[in-house]
Amino acid sequence: MSGSAADEEVVHFFSDGLLLEASFHRASEDTPAPAIVFCPGSRVSRRMPFYATYIQVLVANRISVLLIDYRGWGGSAGDRGTLYPLDQVADIRAGLTWLETRAEVDASRMGLFGVSMGGAHAMAAAGLDERVKAVVAVLSPMDGREMLRASRREYEFRELEATLRDDRRRRVLSGEGDVADGLGPVTPERSKTTALSQDAIPPIPVACLEAIYEYRPLDYVSRISPRAALWLSATRDPVCPPEHSRRAYAAARPPKRLVEIDGSEHYGTYTAHADTILSEAVAWYEAYLQPGTVQSQEER
């Protein structure tokens, strides 16, 4: 699957008073077209190398794309390096509101597309916001606590829980908290992948780890129906195991779809299986971002 280059318009809008930066890629349509907010993964800007290919294909299929930088990342204002999940969900919803203001966008045909943690946010945002008619999550965690647990041995996870408790008390008593190197130990794949930007990633506040620990997009998915939700997972993903998507799919109501890709990588799946991911996403949007679409109560 291929797509022509998509022109980028750098745009700005506010979320909770913070000025966000995003890239708008308009579909070549004489009439208002469907549009999606593209939700990046965790602790990255919108300049990930593989995002460009995805956007080209989506735009070539007559879907406009708004690719955002969450607060504190890329060109957006905010505390650098933070990841508070519900704040990033708010940024996604602000992106939907911005899309509503564009003459090129059919505001009745808006969706979300998220990769990794961005897919988690996309599902949470869809559960909260009825403007989202179709949502796609690719290799995404649906339970923050389980994601943090999976990357650690049992004693390491218990140490993390103690660290979260101690840091909470420190913040309450002193107003200051500690930082950690990352969400968890670096996997061998992440240390050598070319799918990610090579820019240095700042330490993450322990307060953000606590927010991720308490974050369960799984709790939102039952609210999405009768709007449409699609999950894609890799069968042996070591970062976001397929059980996350399976549990969310089971909790959701139709229309819904789960696609499992045979693979043992997280980052590599985005590039090696881009054709599958994009063909499934485009078909989903074609089915559920049509004018006047009546959402089916049957599984697709």
Q: Is the pLDDT confidence value at 4 over 50?
A: no
Averaged pLDDT, 126-143: 98
Averaged pLDDT, 6-29: 93
Per-residue confidence (pLDDT) for residue 186, from 0 to 100: 67
Q: Give me the half-sphere count of Cα atoms (radius 13 Å) on the Cβ side of residue 243.
A: 8
In whole angstroms, what is the distance from residue 15 CA to residue 11 CA?
Answer: 13
Per-residue confidence (pLDDT) for residue 113, from 0 to 100: 98
pLDDT tens-place string over residues 57-108:
999 999 999 999 999 999 999 999 999 999 999 999 999 999 999 999 999 9
Decide if 243 is inside a domain: yes
Share of the chain above pLDDT 90, in %: 84
Averaged pLDDT, 216-227: 98
Return the closest-CA partner of residue 26 out of 119, 103, 97, 95: 103
Decide if 195 is inside a domain: no
Question: Which range among 39-48, 176-185, 254-263 shows the weakest confidence by mean pLDDT?
Answer: 176-185
Per-residue confidence (pLDDT) for residue 184, from 0 to 100: 79
Q: What is the pTM of this model?
A: 0.93
Residue 7 pLDDT grade (very low, low, confident, very high; cuts 50, 70, 90): confident
Q: CATH number of the domain at 64, please.
A: 3.40.50.1820
Within 10 A of 9 (CB to CB), how many other CB atoms are there?
11
**Alpha carbon distances (Å) from 230 to 57, 112, 114:** 18, 10, 11
Q: Is the pLDDT confidence value at 13 over 80?
A: yes
Residue 109 contacts by C-beta under 8 Å, 6 or more apart in sequence?
A: 33, 34, 35, 133, 289, 290, 291
In whole angstroms, what is the distance from residue 131 CA to residue 34 CA?
Answer: 12
Share of the chain above pLDDT 70, in %: 91
Q: Is the pLDDT confidence value at 151 over 90?
A: no
Decide if 201 is inside a domain: no
Q: Count how many domains the chain has.
A: 1
Q: Any idea how long the chain is? A: 300
Per-residue confidence (pLDDT) for residue 176, from 0 to 100: 96
Domain extent at residue 260: 9-143+220-288
Q: Is the pLDDT confidence value at 48 over 80?
A: yes
In whole angstroms, what is the distance from residue 291 CA to residue 273 CA?
Answer: 30
Let me know if 4 is exposed, middle or buried by CB neighbors in 10 A (0-12, 13-18, 19+): exposed
Per-residue confidence (pLDDT) for residue 144, from 0 to 100: 97
